[in-house]
Chains A and B, each alone.
Chain A
Amino acid sequence: MSLPISLDHVTHAYRTQAGPLPVLDDLTLDMPEGSFTAVVGPSGCGKSTLTRLVAGLMKPDQGVVKLGGKPVTGPRSTVGMAFQNPVLLEWRNILQNVMLPLEIVSTGMNKTQREDRARELLALVGLEGFEDKRPSELSGGMRQRASLCRSIVHRPEVLILDEPFGALDAFTREDLWQTMHELRRAERFTCVLITHDLRESVFLSDHTVVFSARPARAQRVVEIDMGENRTLDDLYAPRAVELLAILRKEIQIAQGREPAEAAL
C-alpha cells in the first residue's frame, strides 16, 4: 500500500520574538502514489518544515496537506520517518530498536511475527547477525541502516526521510543509496527525501523539487528520467550529468546568485 501526497497552496510562518518568519509561501506539490520525490534547496529554506507538515506534527497556517486525498489533521501510524540523526535508543538492542514502531502501531501481528518482520528487514539492509548489538557498537552507516528499518517496519504508506545520509562519509552514503533502492523494490511506499546532495537526488528520486529561498515555493520540478534500475555508474552517464547541471543552475537561482552571474 502507498498513498499519494499533495500540498495545496500551503503557507506557513513560524512565530518568533522578532515577529512571524514565513517559511513556506503558497506551496503546491503533488507526489503520486508510490513515487520517490527529492526536495533540494538552499539552507534554511523550509524543507524540514515540509516533512513536519506531511507527518502531521504541525498544521499549516493556510492551505491543505493531503495523504490519499484526505486532509492531514495530526500524526498517523501510516507514516514512517528517519532523520539525519539515527536516534536509536541505547538501552535497546538493534532488533528491539527496529521493533519499536510495532509496539505503538497496532498491526495485528503477534510477537513472533513482529520479530520475524524486523529480522527480515535487518537482513535486507545487510545487518544480519547484528540484532543483539547495542547501537553504540555499530558504525554510523550501520546505525542509519537500522534507523531506515525502523522507519518502514510497520509498513507505512508514506516514508519521510529528512537528510538521513547527510552525516555519512561519501562511500557509506553511496552504499546506503543502493540499499534504499533495494528497500524500495521490496516495500511499497510514497517517499519524500530532503537532501542537500544533488547526486543523491538524481540517483534516488523520480522527480526532484527545487525550493526557492525562504519563504519557499516549488521553484521547479525536474523529472529524473533515469529508469528503474540505476547503478552508481549511471551517475556519470550524459543524461545524469545533464540533470545535475539543470539542478545546480536552479539552486544558484534559488540562492540569488544566478542573475548576478548572468549579467557578467
Chain B
Amino acid sequence: MNATLRQIAVPGGAMIVFLILWELLVWANGWPNFVMASPSDLPPAYARYWELFLTGGWQTLWRTVAGLLIAVVFGTLLGMVMGFSKLAREALYPLLVGFNAIPKATVVPILALLFVGQHDFNTVMLAFMISFFPIAVSVSIGLSTLEPEYRDILRALGASQATIFWKIALPKTLPEFFGALKVAVTLAFIGTNLMEIVSPHGRGLGALFDSGRTNADYPLMFAVLIALAVLGIALFYVVVALEKIFAGWAERSPG
C-alpha cells in the first residue's frame, strides 16, 4: 500500500468503523431518537437545515478565528513582557493563573450583562479570554529559558535587543508557540460555542444546537455535534499546516 493511500485509508476506515458501531449500539438497544440519534438520522437533518448549518457554521468559524487572533496578539505581547522581565513575570503570573482558574461558563452571564445585546463582541471576547493563557505562558517560558549562549553569540557582536529577538528568541520560541496554539484553537472554539449556547438569542452552530434542544429535534442536535467536530478538526489542521510552514525545522526526521 503506498503512503498517501494509507494516510487517507487508515483514518477514513476508522471513522467508518466508528459510525457502524454507533449505528449498531443504537439499534441493539432499541433506543428511540430522544435518547440517542443514530448516524442514519443525520442526513435528513442536514438536508432539511443545510442553510442554517452554512450560516451558523460561518458565524461560529469567524468568531472563533477572530477571538483566536486577538488571543495570539495579546498572548504573545504578554508572554514577551513576562519572558523578558522577571519583575513582570512575578507580578503577572499569579493573576494570570487565578484568571485562568475561573470556569469560563461563569464569565458568560457577566459578559452578557456588561455588553448587552452585542452578541458578536461577547462571543469573540469569550473565545479570546479562554484561549490566550496557553499562548502567553508558552511564549514567556520560551523566552525566559533561552540559553544565555544564544544571546551572547549576537550580543558579543554588539547586536541590539531587537535584533536578538528577531534573529534568535522569536524563531527559537516558535515550536512552543505552535504547541500552545493547538491547545488555544480548541479552547477558542469551546469559548465560542459556550457563548452561543448559553446566551439567549445566540447565533452560530451553538444556537442551532440550542434550538434543536428546545424543539426536541434530537437528530438536529447530533447533526450539529458532528458539524462542530468537522469544523474543529479543520481549524486544528490549519494550525498544524501553519506549524509545518513556520516551525517545520523543529520536526526531527524519524530514525
A residues in contact (CB < 8 Å) with B: 55-57, 74-77, 79-81, 83, 85, 87, 89-91, 100-101, 103-105, 134, 136, 150, 154, 160
Of residues 135 to 158 in B, which have CB atoms within 8 Å of A's CB atoms?
147, 149-150, 152-158
Interface size, B (range): 20 to 34
Q: How far is the CA of A76 from the CA of B249 in the complex (A)?
A: 31
Interface of A is mostly: loop
Query: Do A85 and B157 contact each other (CB < 8 Å), given the known contacts A90-B249, A100-B167, A134-B249?
Result: no
Q: Complex: how many Å from CA A105 to CA B158?
A: 8
Closest Cβ of chain B to A236, distance in Å, is 35
**B156: A residues at CB distance < 8 A:** 55-57, 75, 79-81, 160
Contact status B167-A103, CB under 8 Å: yes
**Interface readout for B155-174 with A: 1 if CB under 8 Å, 0 if not?**
11111000100011001101
Q: Is B250 an interface residue (CB 8 A)?
A: yes
A103-B150 Cα distance, complex, nearest whole Å: 15
Residue of A81, A91, A100 with highest tally of chain B CB at under 10 A: A91
Q: Is the CB of B155 within 8 A of A57?
A: yes
Q: How many A-B residue pairs have CB under 8 A?
A: 60
Identity of the chain B residue whose Cβ is nearest the Cβ of A162 in the assembled complex: B149
Q: Which of A77, A87, A91, A105 contacts B153 (CB 8 A)?
A: A87
Complex CA distance for A55 and B150, rounded to whole angstroms? 15
Asked if A89 and B158 make an inter-chain contact with CB atoms under 8 angstroms apart, the answer reads: no
Chain B 193-225: CB-based contact to A (< 8 A → 1; otherwise 0): 000000000000000000000000000000000
Given the known interface contacts A85-B147, A91-B171, the answer about A104 and B249 at a Cβ–Cβ threshold of 8 Å is no
Instruction: Report if B252 contacts A (CB, 8 A).
Output: yes
Binary contact track B93-129/A, C-beta < 8 Å → 1, others 0: 0000000000000000000000000000000000000
